[in-house]
Structure formats: structure tokens, C-alpha cells
Amino acid sequence: MSTIDAPQEPGDYAGPDDAPLLEEVDPEAELSLSANEASGDDSYAVQDYDEARTATRERHGGDVAHPLDGSRTLAEPSHFSPASVNVVPPIPIAPTTISRRPQPESRPITPVRMPLGTGEPPFTAILWDLDGTISDSAAGIMAALRETFDVFRMPIPDDSTLLSYVGPPIIDSFKAQHLDNQIEIQHALETYREIHDESGLAESPPFAGMPELIRAVRQAGIPQSTATSKPETPARRVLDYYGIIDEFNFVTGASDDESRSKKEDVVEEALRRLREAGVDLSNTIMVGDRFYDVQGSAQHGVPAIYVNWGYGAVGEDEGAVAVASNAHELRRLLAL
């Protein structure tokens, strides 16, 4: 492989002496290129050139320098095979805003009688969801998912669908996109984590008032644990980044291999850890932003408060004892 300099003009070709010119590969390319340049739209220049470059590669082997990127190399034709072509996908662009879904209105507590709680303060223990409740992580998660799907040549869902994947186990999003082979799923999971670890924290600030509320719970002497579908290692990284990891008795989440990832299983593990530590669980409350939180905690007799600043939607609060619209309202519901 020998590096070649990128041509100066989109219509130039930097390849072997006997390689065809752009107009020989695609007679209409020069005409469309001129028309697009005249209109001031030079995005078509890259498109037209890429089409010609692909045709040339198929006929002669190897690759050619891209007009906008001189880093491409020229392969020797004798060593060319389809499997040797390294296709570099474009880096997906994260949305500048996250389209929030319609949320339920805030409402006060409606007491219940459940095995481990009434839904009314004072609470003896609190379980916290992370993504969408404490952490505004949608932008980072969606961008990482988008790039992961692109790496695996899978259709990239629209933003609304990607947003619905924030909260449940990430592995479920791969299955939803029909990635069923267990080896491929594991590879996709590792790829997603590598991508997300590079920029996920910077794109995942805490929701307003939540770090202060977490600290207030600790100061009030109420034991607390996370109960998140995010694996515990990245969950710890997020909480440490926010400076509140020491406020929790336990950081409970999915296992790193996601063999434990369903919300009901995570809640069960959080309760087990608190119980073994001697924590009174007679009036426990779960706080989360998805129906997974409400239903997952209910399976273990724990009522839930739904927060509507996260990534859920109207109807996902069904079964919750209350709905909070901001950290101040949640603080009042927790009687702090």
C-alpha cells in the first residue's frame, strides 16, 4: 500500500496511469457535477465522485484517494479482493435537541397498601433509577446507539425510536433491531460501550436539583440505592462524575455482562443488598421515569413515584403513587 496525494479538484483522479477518467466511468458525472457546482451545492461533488470511485475500484481493484481526504491509500490490484476493502462509515451526527415525548401531569400521592410500602413518607429506604431520573443521558446514549447501528450496517431508527431505548437494557435495543445472534449481540454491546465511554459522560449532565436531592436524602439518614438497568461499572462512573457516588449505600444495576438486566431483577438485587445490610424495608419507595420502574418495583411490593422530566410518555405512570415534575416537587413528595 502506498499513500498518494489527494487531487486538488473533485473531477481529478489520482490512480494508475491506465485508470479511466471520471467521465469514462460515468459520462454524466461531469455534467451533473458542473450543474451542482453552478447551483452552489458542492455536496453532490462528493456523491458523484464516490460513485465513480466505486466503479473504478470494482474494475481495477484497490481504492483511490478521496478528493476531500488525502489519507486514503492505493491498493495493488494483484492483492485486491472484496473482503480487503475497508469501508469507513460516516460518523453519525447526534441531534442538537432531544424531542421529549408527551408526559403525564404531576399529581400528589395516592396511598397504597403494598408489601414493602404505602407510598407515603416517611420512607425507610429509597431506590433510584439513573438514566432519565438522575442523569440526562439521552443525547449520549442515542449518539452511541446510532453509531453502533451504523458500524453493524443496521438500519438507524428515528430519534423517537432511539429515545424509547433509553432506560431499558441496551441489549434489548439490539434485539428490537433484529440482531438475534448471541455472539453478534455481545460484539454490538462491546462496540456500544466503547463508543459511549469516549463521550457519554460529557453528554450526560445530571438533571437540575437531583445531586442536591440525593445529598439531602443521605443527610436525612434514609438508606438509598440505585436500581438501574445500566451496568454497574458505567453507573458508578456516572455517579462519581457527578460527585454523589458516596451518597448511596449501594450502586445496584445490571451485571456487566447484562445477564441481570431486567428492572425487576435489578430491584430484587437492590432489596437483597439493603436487607442484608440491616436496612428497614417496611416503607420503601422507587423513583423512576419509565413504566419499567413502576412495574419492576411493584413485582416486589415496592410502590413508585414517576418523574416526568425523563424519557417516558403518557400512560407510563400507570400504577405509580404520584408524579413529580421537577426536583423541588420530588423533594416535597419525599418529605425532605
pLDDT band, residue 271 (cuts 50/70/90): very high
Would you say 207 and 326 are in contact if contact means Cβ atoms under 8 Å apart? no
Q: Give 150-159 pLDDT, tens digit per residue.
A: 888 888 888 8
With 50 as the cut, is the pLDDT of residue 5 above it?
Answer: no
pLDDT of residue 93: 36
Tens of pLDDT, residue by residue over 306-329, are 999 999 999 999 999 999 999 999
> How far apart, in whole angstroms, are the C-alpha atoms of residue 323 and residue 247?
24
d(CA 298, CA 304): 8
End-to-end alpha-carbon separation of the chain, Å? 67
Q: What domains sit in the chain, N to C, each tagged with a CATH number? A: 2-84 (no CATH), 125-137+204-333 (3.40.50.1000), 138-199 (1.10.150)
For residue range 94-103, list pLDDT tens digits in order: 333 455 789 9
pLDDT on residue 178: 73
Task: Provide mean pLDDT across the span 158-167.
Answer: 84
Give residue for cell 477518467: 21
Asked whether the bond before 122 is cis by omega within 30 degrees of 0, the reply is yes
Contact 131, 226 (CB under 8 A): no
Given a cut of 90, is residue 167 above it in pLDDT? no
Residue 193: pLDDT band (50, 70, 90) is: confident
For 59-86, what is each residue's pLDDT tens digit?
444 443 333 333 333 333 333 333 433 4
Q: Which residue has the higher pLDDT, 213 or 141?
A: 213
Q: pTM of the entire structure?
A: 0.65
Mean pLDDT, range 29-55, rounded to an integer: 47
Q: Supply the pLDDT for residue 205.
A: 93
pLDDT over 50 (residue 111)? yes
Q: Kindly tell me if the per-residue pLDDT of 255 is higher than 50.
A: yes
pLDDT band at 37 (very low <50, low <70, confident <90, very high): low
Quickly list H helices, 152-306.
159-164, 170-176, 182-199, 210-219, 232-242, 263-276, 291-298
Most confident option among 114-118, 135-139, 168-172, 176-180: 114-118
8-state DSSP, 69: B
Identify the H or E element spanning 253. strand 253-254
Residues 6+ apart with CB under 8 A from 265: none
Give me the mean pLDDT over the 105-116 stretch.
98
pLDDT, position 79: 38
Structure confidence by residue, pLDDT tens digits, 195-251: 877 777 778 899 999 999 999 999 999 999 999 999 999 999 999 999 999 999 999
